[in-house]
Amino acid sequence: MTKKISLAMFVLTLLLSLGGNIVAETEKTGIVAEKSSEEKVLSVEQIVNKTNRVAYYQGSDGSARVKMTITDSQNRQRNRELTILRWDQPDPKLSKEEQSKDDSYCGGQKIYAFFNRPADVYKTVFMVWKHLDKDDDRWMYLPALDLVKRISATDKRTSFVGSHFFYEDISGRSTNDDVHELVKTTKDYYVLKNTPKDPKLVEFAYFEMWIHRKSFVVVKTDYYDKQNKKYRTYEALEVQQIQDKPTVTKAKMTDLRTNGNTILEYSNVKYDIGISESIFTERYLRKPARKYLK
């Protein structure tokens, strides 16, 4: 059973359909969230941790069906459908209940994406092992060649299976890779500027995130190049409350240089279903665990 977040959903859908300045358009609606007298003043680190947890770490594991619609600069479309599984490494110092309430702990993580459609990518698998102290490990299984391909760390800022999302967008960027600065706080949003610690490893100079203050959902991210020109934008188009967790169920990435875009639509989203860590291995790249992919 799901229900939409009324305020976040209404404001977000309205603003993103209108385009333009989020602050100005939010004030025009007259339905902004008033600041609670008991609202705590959060540090930048706390905002980053809460946002990272909502984006990538809700529940101890999770699954979702994803429909991907890729539209190129000539308005031609391609579709892909996949199932994504996620397993989080538990904190040995905390109980499961304590860990669910600890925003600061975001440990190792394993992600498994199995492609269902179209036929030419059926059984293709993308797998990630996320690490806190070193580069992530990434693999792609290509069934037509029966080949497991390692994806190097230098490729994480490249297209994910021909879409406008990058590999790093799917698995998540380490919060330790950037310097975070709170540049603005509005009635509804925190605005963070994130500057890479090692600019040689990425194509952007910095990116700005608009984070909903109540849910900590990232509703928009703008990427800027070395000439300070915005060239790439992420938008959360729909947000639903699933198992009491704010969940983005529709998102869009746009390449502003080509005007191409990719829309991801999430369905059958589930948390805490008891996914086994054992399926995140090379063996299961070739022989997927079907019970989790239904």
Name the nearest CA neighbour of 163 among 247, 232, 62.
Answer: 232
Residue 244 has pLDDT above 70, yes or no: yes
Q: Is the pLDDT of residue 292 over 70?
A: yes
Residues 70 and 121: beta-carbon distance below 8 Å: no
Q: Measured on CA atoms in the order 9, 83, 292, 116, is the torsion positive or negative?
A: positive
Average per-residue pLDDT for the chain: 85
**C-alpha to C-alpha distance for 88 and 109, rounded to whole angstroms:** 4
Banded pLDDT at 19 (limits 50, 70, 90)? very low
Q: Where do the domains of the chain lie, and which CATH numbers do they carry? A: 2-29+39-292 (2.50.20.10)
Better pLDDT: 103 or 290? 290
Percent of the chain topping pLDDT 90:
68
Q: What is the pLDDT of residue 96?
A: 62
48 close to 180: Cβ distance less than 8 angstroms: yes
pLDDT level of residue 37 (50, 70, 90 thresholds): very low
Predicted TM-score (pTM) of this structure: 0.82
Average pLDDT value for residue range 60-87: 96
pLDDT tens for residues 77-95?
999 999 999 999 887 676 6
Least confident of 91-95, 101-105, 161-165, 199-203: 101-105
